[in-house]
Chains A and B, each alone.
Chain A
Amino acid sequence: MSTIAVETDLALRQQQVRERLDAWTREVIEWHFNPDTGTPFWLDWAAQAGWDPRKEIHTYADLDKFGNFQDEWLRGGPVRRWVPKAYANSPISVFETGGSTGVPKSRININDFRIDYELFSETLPDEAFPKGADWISIGPTGPRRLRLAVEHLAQYRGGICFMVDLDPRWVIKLIKWGEMQMMERYKQHVIDQALTLLRAHPNIKCIFTTPKLLEALCEKVSLKKLGITGIFCGGTEMTPQFCRFAVEELLEGIYFAPTYGNTLMGLAVHKPLTKEDGYAIVYYPPTPRAMIEVVDPDNPSRIVEYGETGRVRLTTLTKEFFMPRFLERDECERERPHPLYPWDGVRNVRPFSRFSATVVEGVY
């Protein structure tokens, strides 16, 4: 196809995505605000707000009428207020975010994590993540979605997932206490367990881990020599420089899939990394189940131009969880749609810079 044809095709597909998003928005709103199927929190909210979203929300853009979702709403109970009536008798999981201090945010889950990871699975190349191969997940488990989600991903692809746990809340405490040696020893404890499993189970071909643990693993062994073919990496911020370092110096040709995800959104897929693009990390949200938009920090209802920096705004639209216009503690650049993902993406997500202001005391 010519360039013009490609662009026309992309524009057409963008339009289709938008229409699908609007239709899905109406369906999700109907679900959460219908007294028969709806979510107690949102039914109460609508009663107090004095307007009926089922009548007034027709498009995705109309969700602006909700204002910004407050993260305090997710801290503390009763957590059942977030369970849609239609799912009242289903087995409910609860997943938490952060939580190094205070009450963590909670999100209930029934099947969302499975759906998200099955969709994500479609983006993984079979030659790097072979069907039937076993996995090892080295990272946060406990109250986090990753514990079940990565295991489901492995099972969905016909494999079995080995698990090595890392408690990030303990790591944060060790850092706060200045117990850096203890932190190193804890990391080593995690890596030692992983190496034992990797050496004992040659059918493990795929790894999920965090950037730091990946570095620590590669200090000890050649993952390629151990037969690893694909690495799915996430859990914390990654920079293009980290991705370059991983590809050029750690992985010896192993396929590297960085991801951006969290309990509230789901899982964003990455545009394939290329050296020519400066290893830019560009993520596309799982539209229409979640949307990531980049907004003006001073006017969060304004979406910034392509290439412009702004704050991440998240909207989650599933039948299990509705969260409109949540301002994340991250910033990034707005990215144009990609032929594989014909909707807006985000480039180089990182912590929101305005939250860091310190006073330096002392001359040194």
Chain B
Amino acid sequence: MLHLPILRHGRPYRSLSVSSTPHFRTKEPFVELSLANPGLIRRDLLQAERTWSILQQYKAQDLLRMTKRAAEFFLHDPLPLGEAWQTPEEYVAQISATTGLPLVMVRKNMMKIYGVMAEIDHVISGLTRGIEPAVLDEGYGEVNGHAVSFFPRGYNLGVVLPNNSPGVHSLWIPAIAMKIPLVLKPGSAEPWSPYRVIQALIKAGFPPEVFSYYPTDHAGAGEILRSSDRCMLFGDVGAVKSWRNDPRVELHGPGYSKIVIGGDCIDHFDRYLDVMIQSIAENSGRSCINASGVWVPRRGREIADALAQRLARIEPKPADDPDAQIAPFADPRVAERISNMIDKGLYEPGAEDYTARYRPGGRLVTFDGATYLLPTILYCESPEHGLANREFLFPFASVVECPEEQLLEAMGPTLVVTAITHSERLKSRLLASSHVGRLNLGPIPTMKIGWDQPHEGNLFEHLYARRAFQQVRELVHP
């Protein structure tokens, strides 16, 4: 069986504690991961300053060049995988094997990771609002004739990564090009991408010491978050709750992303069905930027019905089918629990599963030995319903009727809002809202990302702080 070691400052370490991740269909162990004990992580991270200084010996411009080279290695080359090697096609197949994602979706995600590496200068320019990379080398510089100075907020970035979809890895990659060493905790079902990205970066010339890779348990993840100077945490409702008050940790929890249709456009909702469907179902609904709600002032039942008719057509297909649109659950018990949770929620009056009208069986199905949750569209007659604002790991959305005046208060924190309206009043209220992480005005799918428009916080601002700065070049000696 394949074995992925821990990387302790780039040095492989085989642990006595291991976990194995099964193949989503056969349920046979597919890959074994060395698990880091929390004390080992903590002890390693005592070296953070030393590791950071290694990376400071490189010019930022060179790191950008190396990241671009790494993008090509990531996409095209065989790279080390523990004691074995991994071709790009094997990488795609392995992710599919442990996450259930169809190959076509893995390839899309792979291109997303490639994109952020290949376009790293553009990405970092977006994050820093155009600051010259050399500012990171010198600690100061000029922007539009004004002196600027930045200092790192810490010596490393610890990232607790998810299992849901490889695309999220594009969010932390820029840190290393911004001269901040990485401490990564991969998800148990998706250990592949961070390992491959690290190997590509090392091959491109990054010093191995600046990469730590710790497959670990819940306690180990907590240790990474405690012991790293700056952090990112991808997690479910329960996981992110404990870290809400820690400014060192940038939280990537559920997105509760939504499409909002104003009263002025609601009578033409059929023109926007494609945007809604793409937002709900792309990437099998596994991203925090997938829409889990469509909020409207009226005609909710008709919209739910129209979406349900379209989405009920999506059926499981073999993993290698280029038309596959939905991914199974690697752990069938999770699918069962989610489906039960939705069914229990439907006992509360005021909601209906419209997709149930258009498929003969239930939403929980097995196909080719794997367990799926089929796309599910609910209608909720008010935002107070228990299922009005929920998010699950499959194409799921509630069409919620809510008066426009109450919309912003009722919808709560929302990562992405796509607002379809001409109403200046609604637009200006959305623009002023602190609840909205990313605002799309117009029929833009919630899934559409602009690398220069970071959501959920700006990585550069998370890693660097600006200080006031003045300088006189000629020193006067007494």
Contacts and interface: CB of A to CB of B under 8 A. Distances in A.
18 contacts: A178-B241, A178-B243, A180-B242, A211-B39, A215-B42, A219-B46, A241-B40, A358-B238, A360-B393, A361-B238, A361-B390, A362-B235, A362-B236, A362-B391, A363-B164, A363-B286, A364-B164, A364-B255
A87 interface: no
A245 B246 contact: no
Interface in B216-274: 222, 225-226, 234-238, 240-246, 252-255
Nearest to A175: B242
Interface stretch (B115-123, B194-202, B334-342): B334-342
Contact of A245 (B40, B162, B288, B292): B40
B43 A359 contact: no
Interface in A213-257: 215, 218-219, 239-242, 244-246, 249-250
Contact of A364 (B35, B288, B292, B333): B288
A249 B16 contact: no
A97 B226 CA distance: 28
Q: What's the interface size class on B, roughly?
A: 35 or more
A245 B39 contact: yes
B37 A184 contact: no
B287 interface: yes
A240 B39 contact: no
Interface in B329-353: 333-334, 337-338, 341
B414 interface: no
B235 A364 contact: yes
A239 B16 contact: yes
Contacts of B236: 360-362, 364
A132 to B, nearest CB: 31
A359 B337 contact: yes
Interface residues of A, number: 28
Contacts of A212: 39
B21 interface: no
A362 B237 contact: yes
A279 interface: yes
A219 to B, nearest CB: 7
Contacts of A244: 16
A363 B240 CA distance: 12
B109 to A, nearest CB: 14
Contacts of A215: 38-39, 42-43
A363 B226 contact: no
- The 10 A-B residue pairs whose C-beta atoms are closest, nearest first, are A362-B254, A178-B242, A215-B39, A241-B17, A241-B16, A362-B236, A240-B16, A360-B236, A364-B234, A359-B337
Interface string A4-40: 0000000000000000000000000000000000000
Contact of A219 (B43, B240, B286): B43
A245 B223 CA distance: 16
Nearest to B226: A180
Contacts of A211: 39
A360 B338 CA distance: 8
B37 A364 contact: no
A250 B225 CA distance: 22
Contacts, number: 98
B30 interface: no
Interface string A158-191: 0000000000000000000010110010000000
B254 A361 contact: yes
A76 interface: no
B186 interface: no
A245 B42 CA distance: 12
B254 A364 contact: yes
A278 interface: yes
Nearest to A361: B237
Contact of A279 (B16, B35, B234): B16
Contacts of B240: 364
A332 B238 CA distance: 28
Nearest to B46: A219
Nearest to B164: A363
B451 interface: no
B300 interface: no
A35 to B, nearest CB: 50
Nearest to A364: B234
A245 B35 CA distance: 12
Interface of A: 178, 180-181, 184, 211-212, 215, 218-219, 239-242, 244-246, 249-250, 278-279, 357-364
B15 interface: yes
B226 A239 contact: no
B290 interface: yes
Contacts of A357: 333
A359 B341 contact: yes
B392 A180 contact: no
Nearest to B227: A184
Contacts of A219: 42-43, 46
Looking at B40, B162, B234, B390, the one whose CB has the most chain A CB atoms below 10 A away is B40
Interface string B27-65: 000000001011110110010000000000000000000
B102 interface: no
B285 interface: yes
A239 B43 contact: no
Interface string B202-225: 000000000000000000001001
Given A358-B238, A360-B236, A361-B392, A242 B43 contact: no
Contact of B253 (A239, A278, A279, A364): A364
Contact of B252 (A178, A245, A364): A364
A173 B337 CA distance: 28
A186 B342 CA distance: 42
Looking at B38, B39, B168, the one whose CB has the most chain A CB atoms below 10 A away is B39
Contacts of B235: 362, 364
A246 B40 CA distance: 9
Contacts of B391: 361-363
A278 B16 contact: yes
Contacts of A246: 39
B16 A180 contact: no
Contacts of B392: 361-363
Contacts of B234: 364
Given A361-B254, A363-B164, A363-B255, 8 more contacts: A178-B244, A212-B39, A219-B43, A361-B237, A363-B287, A363-B391, A364-B255, A364-B288
Looking at B235, B242, B390, the one whose CB has the most chain A CB atoms below 10 A away is B242
Nearest to B35: A241
Contacts of A359: 334, 337-338, 341
A249 B40 contact: yes
A215 B390 CA distance: 41
Looking at B240, B243, B254, B341, the one whose CB has the most chain A CB atoms below 10 A away is B254
Nearest to B219: A212
Contact of B288 (A181, A241, A363): A363
A122 B238 CA distance: 47
Contact of A180 (B43, B222, B341): B222
B24 to A, nearest CB: 16
